[in-house]
Amino acid sequence: MDRFDIVIAGGGITGLSLALTLSRVLRGALSVCLVEAPVARDDDRAFAFSAGSVRFLRALGVWDAIEPDAQPIHDMVITDSRLDDPVRPVFLTFGGEAAPGEPFAHMIPEQAVMSALRDAVASSGLTVKTGHVTKARPEAGSSRVTLSDGSAFRTSLVVASDGARSRLREDAGIGWAHWSYKQSGIVATIGHEREHHGRAEEHFLPSGPFAVLPLTGNRFTMVWSETTERARLVLERDDADILAEIEKRVGLRLGELKLLSRPRSYPLGFGLARRFGAERLALVGDAAHLIHPIAGQGLNMGLRDVASLAEIITEHASLGLDPGDLMVIEAYEKARRADTVAMASVTDALNRLFSNDAMPLRLMRDFGLGVVDRLPSFKTRLIREAAATGPHLPRLMRGETLPGF
Amino acid sequence: MDGVFQTSIDSDEVARFERIARTWWDQAGPMGVLHKFNPVRLQVIRDEAAAHFNRRLENGRPLEGLTVLDIGCGGGLLCEPLTRLGAKVTGIDPAPTNIEVAKLHAQQSGLAIDYRQTTVEALVAAGERFDIVLAMEVVEHVADVGAFVGACTAAVAPEGQLFMATLNRTLKAFALAIVGAEFVLGWLPKGTHQWDKFVTPRELESAIEKGGMQVGYRSGVAFHPLRNEWKLSRDMDVNYMLAATKG
């Protein structure tokens, strides 16, 4: 029976980046197998990649292929308002850079990142199998992995990067604390007349946050949170009607708008795995945590999981230790748990605080944001957090590489 | 060969380890402390061996092609990682259960390791020599330290390297390794160590030098309770490691 050091289930951005990282460390000493589902994604989502995540993509050598599609975010404006307020009071502006010449985030279409990672994986020589991991059974000294085509092999460690509804997480009996926000994010790519100058906007409207996230070439990604019921009604309308609603929310700053893609909606929920690992199993990305997109941190957290797990495995493997043993799982859990719970709670609280029109709450949060804006050190910390460049970060996110990379 | 067998092995010690051999690989079990200890030991062996044999660390198999003898290999806690680092490893232990456990586990891990129930004295008598010889946490369990260390140095090939790790015979070691680890924390089964068998660095170094080797590396190893991990330390009062090379 074949044996690998690491089997990664799931071919999204987290799975691909982990496979690529682990196939390169220690001059390729680890045997890595990526199992990816044969789905052709045709959506046009885009994500905000923090400076730390961009450093990671650079370390992987895929940044040059991605950069033409990456829009730097130079500043970010947050307003708190009702839809019919004539003037949107600006309560918080984030500006500046993670480091000189380094924007604190970039907006990048998912497909641009996926295709750059796929190309790199294809030329890396790591084993790629098509299908799903249906079972992973820990046995003495290894885990026995079964794929959807019935084939089986052994591995030291299985990494579940198979999304919020992770089959492997469920199969391992790891609990999933979750709830729905009863909100949906309506996502579309919008073209506009005037330049956005790399400015991102987030309007905290009573029904939920409405984000304008700049893309290259006078386009932006809209993430419009609505109650699930209202989102359904919005999507039933024709393009012209929807565009009129979007114009109301975006305002006049960008000139005339046009829909470049039919809006789609994604249900917004919260989920947190009770543990981030089990015997010979580690959870990364959405399989470990699903958070509200209010702060644009979900994918960045997933990449932090990947960078952290890769660092722990490399350290361990560089000593010849079993890359799937309990010490790796424990170290990973320790490295990621607190950070994840903190981020999950903050985004949950932010959404609860802002998706609400009660006057006392509005006053309180406006006062709070105003205070934040006047406390330079706290703001610097927030920006550093958003940029993911703090000192406690995994090495790949600080612009370093791993041994033998 | 039976005669050689008897020189340095204390039969009570063998029986004691046999009782716990089955749990060697349970990282949450009684050997958990040894698993926690493993990274720092491996780091010293890897780094010192790579420096001595001019190997580059960043490739995952810096010990490729070197022969290693692990004396008192137990369940194979050092043999398996060293095999993954590229070494051709022979693990010996006087306890048959250990050898069986180690063989079974190596097979489960997909690693080829030569495990034998024998002693270093027997290997030396048979003329076997190794690039790297390890006696980690063994000296404190043997009946005749001088004879044992002599056999260890004899098993090292010319230009080869010897690593030893053990416990110092100090009051601090008594307090931490016996009272602390066995009685207070329950890390080790009671009776694992007897203080009067502990060896001071000076005694060990002089025994190694008698075997024609030069000690070029010495370090203490200390436990950091808050981080729950072992780190190298200048303090050699409790756990310490030595590395020596042959001319």
CA A223 vs CA A47, A48, A113, B83: distances in Å: 10, 12, 19, 52
DSSP codes of every residue in B189-213: -TTS--GGG---HHHHHHHHHHTTE
CA distance B41 to chain A (A): 9
DSSP A265: E
Rounded CA separation B24/A339 (Å) = 34
Residue B174 has pLDDT above 60, yes or no: yes
Residue type (1 letter), A311? E
Contact indicator for A27, B59 with CB cutoff of 8 Å = yes
pLDDT of B161: 98
Q: Which of B21, B30, B122, B34 is nearest to B71 (CA)?
A: B122
Q: Which domains, from first to last, does chain A contain?
A: 3-49+110-178+269-361+393-397 (3.50.50.60)
CB-CB: which of A319, A322, A327 is closest to B46?
A: A319
At B130, the pLDDT band (50, 70, 90 cuts) reads very high
Nearest to B105 among A29, A141, A316 (CB): A141
Characterize A123-151 residue by residue with b for buried, 16 or more Cβ atoms within 10 angstroms of its Cβ, and e for exposed: ebebbbbeebbbbbeeeebbbbbebeeee
A398 contacts A307 by C-beta, under 8 angstroms: no
Q: Which of A320, A326, A403 sits opposite B42 (nearest CB)?
A: A320
Task: Supply the pLDDT for residue B3.
Answer: 37
CA B2 to chain A, closest CA, distance in angstroms equals: 34
The verdict on B57 touching A (C-beta cutoff 8 Å) is yes
| Cβ-defined contact of B59 to A404 (cutoff 8 Å) | yes
The third-level CATH classification (topology) of the domain covering B2-246 is: Rossmann fold (3.40.50)
CA distance B52 to chain A (A): 17
Contact status of B246 with chain A (Cβ, < 8 Å): no
pLDDT in tens, chain A (405 residues): 889 999 999 989 999 999 999 999 999 999 999 999 876 666 788 999 999 999 999 999 999 999 999 999 998 888 776 666 666 666 666 666 777 888 889 999 999 999 999 999 999 989 999 999 999 999 878 999 999 999 999 999 999 999 999 999 999 999 999 888 888 999 999 999 999 999 999 888 877 789 999 999 999 999 999 999 999 999 999 999 999 999 999 888 899 999 999 999 998 888 899 999 999 999 999 999 998 777 778 899 999 999 999 999 999 999 999 999 999 999 999 888 877 777 777 777 767 666 665 555 555 556 555 555 555 555 565 566 666 556 678 888 888 888 888
Domain residue spans of chain B: 2-246
What does the pLDDT average to over B123-137? 97
Q: How far is B230 from chain A (nearest CA, A)?
A: 13
Contact A318, B57 (CB under 8 A): yes
Give the separation between CA A351 and CA B198, rounded to whole angstroms.
62
Between positions 88 and 127 of B, the ones with CB within 8 A of A are 104-105, 107-110
Please indicate if any CB of chain B lies within 8 Å of the CB of A321: yes
- Cβ contacts from A onto B, under 8 A: 70
Cβ within 8 Å, pair A27-B58: yes
Contact between chains at B60 and A404 (C-beta distance less than 8 A): yes
Model-wide pTM > 0.90:
no
A279 at B interface, C-beta within 8 A: no
- Chain B contact probe: residue of A3, A137, A321, A333 with most B CBs at under 10 A: A321
Contacts of A26 in chain B (CB under 8 A): 58-60
Q: Which residues of B touch A145 (CB under 8 A)?
A: none
Residue B109 with chain A: CB contacts under 8 Å = 141-142, 322
**Kind plus residue range of the DSSP H or E element containing A78:** strand A75-80
| B35 and chain A in contact, CB less than 8 A | yes
B contacts of A320 (beta carbons < 8 Å): 42, 46, 80-85
- Residue B109 to residue A322, Cβ atoms within 8 A: yes
Nearest CA in chain B to A321: B81
Give the per-residue pLDDT at B213. 97
Instruction: For residue A316, give the chain B residue with the closest CA.
Output: B39
For residue B56, give how far its alpha carbon lies from the nearest alpha carbon of chain A (Å). 10
- Give yes or no for residue B25 having a pLDDT over 70: yes
Contact between A62 and A19 (Cβ < 8 Å): no
Contacts of A322 in chain B (CB under 8 A): 80-81, 84, 109
Report chain B residues whose CB lies below 8 A from the CB of A400: none
Q: Where are the extended beta strands (E) located within B101-155? A: 114-116, 130-136
- Residue B184 confidence (pLDDT): 75
- Name the residue facing B58 among A26, A30, A154 (closest C-beta): A26
Q: Which residues, 6 or more positions from B11, have their beta carbon under 8 angstroms from its beta carbon?
A: none
Cβ distance of A320 and B109 shorter than 8 Å: no
Q: Please tell me which of the candidates A26, A141, A142 has its beta carbon nearest to residue B59.
A: A26
